[in-house]
Amino acid sequence: MQPLANVTPLKPAARAGAIQIDRVGQVFKTSTQDVIALSDVSLDIKPGRFIVLVGPSGCGKSTLLMMLAGLRPQTSGTILINGAPIPKPDPDRVGVVFQEASLFPWLTAEENVEFPLALRGVAKAERRAKAEDALKLVGLDGFGKRHPHELSGGMKQRVSIARGLVQDPPVLLMDEPFAALDEQTRMTMGDELLRIWSATGKTVVFVTHSLTEAVYLADEVAVMSARPGRIVDHLQIPLPRPRTYEMLSGDAFGSLRDRIWRHIRKSA
Amino acid sequence: MKAATLRRLIVIALLVLWEVLPRSGLVPELFLPSLSSTLIAGWSEAGEYAHALATTLYEVAISMAIACGGGIVLGALVGSLPRPRILIMPMMSSLYAVPLVVLYPVFTVWLGIGSESKIAFASIYGFLPTMLATAAGIQTIDPQLLLAARSMGATLSQRLIRVVLPAAIPTVLSGLRVGGALVIVGVVVSEMLISSAGIGYLISRYRTILDSAHVFAGVLLVLAMAIAFNAAIRLLERKAAIWQTGTRGGQHAIEEIAGSTMQPAT
C-alpha cells in the first residue's frame, strides 16, 4: 500500500509553461484503412523555451500542435501542460495562432482580440483594457478600430498573436503563422515575435516549413520524419540572442540548417 | 450620363408613356388605363384599398417571419450538421422545383379561405429558398475560423451565434431577397385565387367586372410593396458588405505585395 502515491504533488517540471509529451501517437481512421500520423512522439519542453517543429509536409507537426491545443485527442500516450492533461481547448493555459490570419472579418482588430474574453463573459471595460494592452505589446497601438481588411498581412498576424496572448496563457502555439507573408515581412515578424517572446517569457511551440526561420527563432528544434511522424532529431540552437540578420550567413547557422535538411531529405 | 440618372429617366419615360398612350387612344383604356385615371380610381376607393393593404401586409409580415425565421434556423441546423444535410437537402432542393401553388387549394380546404391559408402557403413558398441559401452559406464558412473559435474555448452554441451566423450573413441575405419576394408573390397570388380580402382579392374582383383602372391601382400597390421590400434588403446588404467586399480587397492587396510563400533557402 502506498497511500501517498495518490497525493503526489506536481512535479517540478509542472511549472507554468511546461509541456510534457510522452509517447504520443495519433491514428486517423478512414473507411478503408488506419493511417498512423504520429508514432511514439516524446518531448519535454521547459517553461519559457522557444521550440520549433520542422519536418516534411504531412509529417504530423500540425497534428501534434492541434493535440497540444486540446483540439484533437491523441490516440495513445499523454500530454501534460502545466502538469495537467489537456482534453479540450483551455485558453487560460494555451493560446493558438493559426496560419492565415484567422481573424473574424466582421469584427475590428480590437474586437477580434477581445473575442476569447467575450466568450467567457468578461466585462466590456476590462476586455477593452486587456485588448489594448495586447495590441500595444504586438506594436499595433492605435489600430484597434480597423477591420482586418484594412490591415496588411503582417499586421493581421500581429492581431492574431495579440488574440493568442490576451488571456496571458503560459504557452503559445503557432501553426506556420508567417507562411502566407512575403519574405521581408516574414523576417520582420520573426524579430517581432522574438521581442514579444522575451518580453512575456511564454513557452512557444512554433511549426514551420522554413528551416532558416526554424534556426533563426528557436532555442531548440525538433525535426520530424514523414508519416508516420516521429521525432528524428532534437537539436539545441546555441546561437546567442538577440539573433541578428548577419547570423544567417554564418557557419554555425549554416551547419545547423544543413543538419536539419539532411534529416528531412532522408525521410521525404 | 451616369447609370443612375439614366435609370431614373427610363422610369420617368415609362410613367409618361403610361399616361400618354391610353390618352392618345393608341392603347384602349380597357387594356391600359392611364396613370392619372388609375390614381384617381385608387383614391376614390382609398378606404377599401387601405383595408385590403392592411390585410395583405399582415399576411406578408407573418409569412415573412415564419419563412425567414424558420428558413434561417433550419438552414443553419441543416447546413452545420452533416447527417440532416444528407437526409434533408436533396428533398428540399427538389421540393423547391415543384410549383407549390398546386398545394394552395388543399390549404384552403384545411385552413379556410381566410388569412391562415395564405400565411401557410406564402410561408412555405418563401421558406425554401431562404433555408437553402442559409444552409449553403453555412457550408462555405472558412473552417479555420471555427477552429480558431474552438481553440479559444467557444462552445457549440457560441460558435453558432458568434461565428457561423455572422459569417453566413451575406449568403443569408441573398436568400432573404429571394425568399421575401416569394412571400409577397405567394400572398398576392393566393389572395387572387381563393379569398375574400386583401389586394390580390381586390385585383381579381375588379378584373371580373372589367374595371381596369381599379385593377391597376391594386397592381401599383403590390409594386410599391415589392420595391419597399427590396430597398430594405439593399440597406441590410450594404451594412453587411462593409467587411464582405473589404475582405476581397484586402486579399488582393496581400497578393500584390507578396509574390509567393517563402521556402527554405537550403
Query: What whole-number distance in Å separates Cα of residue A254 and Cα of residue A237?
Result: 12
Q: What is the pLDDT of residues B134-166, one digit of tens each?
A: 888 888 888 889 999 999 999 988 998 898 888
Helix B35-44, helix B46-64: angle, nearest 10: 90
A89/B150 touch (CB, cutoff 8 Å), yes or no: yes
Residue A26's CB: how many other CB atoms inside 10 A?
23
Nearest to B250 among A99, A116, A149 (CB): A149
Residue B49 has pLDDT above 90, yes or no: no
Interface of A with B in 108-127 (CB under 8 A): 115-116, 118-120
A251 by Cβ neighbours in 10 Å (0-12 / 13-18 / 19+) ranks as exposed
A150/B152 touch (CB, cutoff 8 Å), yes or no: no
Share of chain B above pLDDT 70, in %: 90
User: How many structural domains does chain B have?
Assistant: 1
Residues of chain A with pLDDT under 70: 1-15, 101, 268
* Contact present, A191 and A171 (Cβ < 8 Å): no
Q: What is the pLDDT of residues B107-141, one digit of tens each?
A: 888 988 888 888 988 998 888 888 888 888 888 88
The terminus-to-terminus CA distance of chain B in angstroms comes to 59
Query: How many angstroms away from the CA of A198 is the closest CA of chain B?
Result: 23
**Would you list the domain boundaries of chain A?**
11-93+170-267, 104-168
pLDDT reported for residue B244: 55
Maximum CA extent, chain B: 88
CATH architecture of the domain with residue range A11-93+170-267? 3-Layer(aba) Sandwich (3.40)
Q: Where are the alpha helices (DSSP H) in B98-211?
A: 104-111, 115-139, 143-151, 156-159, 165-193, 199-208
Q: Residue B224 carries which side chain, given as an amino acid letter?
A: A
Nearest CA in chain B to A164: B152
Place of cell 539545441: A236
Which residues in chain A have Cβ-Cβ distances shorter than 8 Å to B261? Answer: 179-181
Select from A250, A261, A185 the least CA-distant residue to A216: A250
**CATH number for B133:** 1.10.3720.10
Its ipTM equals 0.85
- Is A18 an 8 Å CB contact of chain B? no
pLDDT reported for residue B257: 31
All cell numbers assigned to B171: 449568403
pLDDT reported for residue A219: 92
Query: How many angstroms away from the CA of A179 is the closest CA of chain B?
Result: 6
Q: What is the DSSP letter of B161?
A: I
Close Cβ partners of B1 (under 8 Å, ≥ 6 residues apart):
none
Query: What whole-number distance in Å separates Cα of residue A139 and Cα of residue A142?
Result: 9
- Report yes or no on B63 lying in a domain: yes
Q: What is the pLDDT of residues B158-192, one digit of tens each?
A: 998 898 888 888 777 888 888 888 899 999 998 88
Close Cβ partners of B24 (under 8 Å, ≥ 6 residues apart):
none
- Report yes or no on B14 lying in a domain: no
Nearest to B243 among A105, A120, A211 (CB): A105
Stronger pLDDT, A51 or B26, i.e. the higher one: A51
pLDDT band at B75 (very low <50, low <70, confident <90, very high): confident
Q: Residue A210 carries which side chain, given as an amino acid letter?
A: S
CA B228 from chain centre, in angstroms, equals 11
Which residues in chain B have Cβ-Cβ distances shorter than 8 Å to A98? Answer: 144, 147-148, 151
Query: How many angstroms away from the CA of B174 is the closest CA of chain A?
Result: 18
Nearest to B152 among A115, A181, A183 (CB): A115
Close Cβ partners of B242 (under 8 Å, ≥ 6 residues apart):
A147
- Residues shown for chain B: 266
pLDDT reported for residue B62: 94
pLDDT reported for residue A159: 94
Average pLDDT for chain A? 87
Stronger pLDDT, B80 or A248, i.e. the higher one: A248
Q: What is the pLDDT of residues A113-160, one digit of tens each?
A: 999 999 999 999 999 999 999 999 898 888 999 989 889 888 999 999
Q: What is the pLDDT of residues B207-225, one digit of tens each?
A: 988 888 889 999 999 999 9
Rounded alpha-carbon distances, angstroms, from residue A261 to A210, A217, B193, B265: 10, 16, 77, 10
pLDDT reported for residue B125: 87
Sheet holding A50-54, edge to edge: A94-97, A171-175, A203-207, A50-54, A220-224, A231-236
- Is A152 an 8 Å CB contact of chain B? yes
- Report yes or no on B19 lying in a domain: no
pLDDT reported for residue A16: 84
B264/A151 touch (CB, cutoff 8 Å), yes or no: no
- Is A77 an 8 Å CB contact of chain B? no
Query: How many angstroms away from the CA of B263 is the closest CA of chain A?
Result: 6
pLDDT band at B84 (very low <50, low <70, confident <90, very high): confident
pLDDT reported for residue A6: 46
Q: What is the DSSP letter of A40?
A: E
Which helix (H) or strand (E) segment holds residue B36: the answer is: helix B35-44
All cell numbers assigned to A85: 492533461
pLDDT reported for residue B46: 87
- Report yes or no on B265 lying in a domain: no
Residues spanned by the domain of B73 = 45-238
Q: What is the DSSP letter of A226?
A: S
Query: What whole-number distance in Å separates Cα of residue A113 and Cα of residue B188?
Result: 49
